[in-house]
Homo-oligomer: A and B are copies of this chain.
Amino acid sequence: MSVVDRLAHPIVQAPMAGGPSTPELAAAVCDAGGLGFLASGYRSAAQTRDAIGAVRERTGRPFGVNVFVPGDPTVDQRELSRFLERLRPEAGRYGASVGAARFDDDDWQAKLELLSADAVAVVSFTFGCPPADAVGSLHDAGSEVWVTATTPDEARLAAEAGADAIVLQGVEAGGHRGAFLDGDEGEAFGILALLRLAARDVDLPLVAAGGIPDGAGVAAVLVAGAAAAQLGTAFMCANEAGTDPAQRRALQSERPTRLTRAFSGRQARGIVNRFMDELSDGAPFAYPHVHYATAPLRAAARERDDPDGFNLWAGQAHRLCRDEPAGEIVRRLASEAQEALRR
């Protein structure tokens, strides 16, 4: 029986790298009967180990850890340089400097070793399909391997690579698109169409993500064939989340979202702000180079509580997220879902 079948509520808290995901959030979700997740993205293996320890101090329940699959270090240097020039006045505005635009693999090998030596219930992957040896050693350690897919093709590839479940991410989702490649060719599927297509192709538990704001949305994806719903934005205003105050205010506004490469060099959905308006056009395919280049600017804007200068990741239905303890959110989602199914 898979992890998702053993949950009291078919609700997964999405890993949200860059601040919102905390051990407190993951533990609270687990204790309420959902599946909490840690985001190892932008953290070293050592920091990830500490965060895992912090969850275990708070709960004995199963939880997951998300890992970024490293991409291709090759970028168009001319396009990248041109973009870095455009970042300079932006940095000046906040009294910051543009960071070094470098590649790294987000401590990939060390994280795999950590997670193979000391297993958690689920290891999920984003930005690509893990290689067979990685899947094998995590299986040997006793973990389930979940892979994020944004198209039916990616879902099929993940199934062939030995995944135990597929996280289907619709275009509605906040934060980075988890596509295997960050091209413009990949079709931007809405979650409902993606779920119905993947359900025909893949005989694995499907975890549906993307713009699911409430229990009626959870019930809808379950009816459409998902084994569980994964929600990120719905947990961003949770008391236990590490979400920045300026971002919390923006999340509860009516402001529109869109996809942009301006903050990180990879497509991600956030609430439209000045930075996005001014820098999205021509932002290069250069992840994580652009992420590191903008990091000091974003930190300085956060410091000044200025929501126009950093990434306000949010899914399309962000307006419906609520300031509540995470456990309350899980219980509310579950009871709303029950109610929607009864109607």
Contacts and interface: CB of A to CB of B under 8 A. Distances in A.
Interface stretch (A1-9, A118-126, A217-225): A217-225
A284 interface: no
A202 to B, nearest CB: 14
Nearest to A213: B196
A340 B224 contact: yes
B191 A190 contact: yes
B221 A225 contact: no
B190 A171 contact: yes
A315 interface: yes
A189 B319 CA distance: 13
A341 B225 CA distance: 10
Contacts of A214: 196
Chain copies in the assembly?
Answer: 2
Nearest to A258: B187
Given A224-B216, A319-B197, A190 B192 contact: yes
A294 interface: no
Given A196-B216, A340-B224, A190 B190 contact: yes
A193 B219 contact: no
A211 interface: yes
Interface in A174-207: 185, 187-194, 196-197, 199-200
A273 to B, nearest CB: 14
A183 to B, nearest CB: 12
B200 A220 contact: no
Interface in A234-252: none
B171 A343 contact: no
A196 B221 CA distance: 13
Given A190-B171, A223-B341, A340-B224, A317 B256 contact: no
6 contacts: A192-B220, A192-B221, A194-B316, A196-B217, A197-B316, A341-B341
The list of the 5 closest CB pairs from A to B, nearest first, reads: A193-B211, A190-B190, A220-B224, A193-B316, A172-B190
Given A190-B210, A190-B316, A197-B213, 15 more contacts: A171-B190, A172-B189, A187-B258, A190-B211, A191-B192, A192-B212, A192-B217, A196-B211, A197-B316, A197-B320, A219-B224, A220-B221, A223-B341, A224-B340, A341-B341
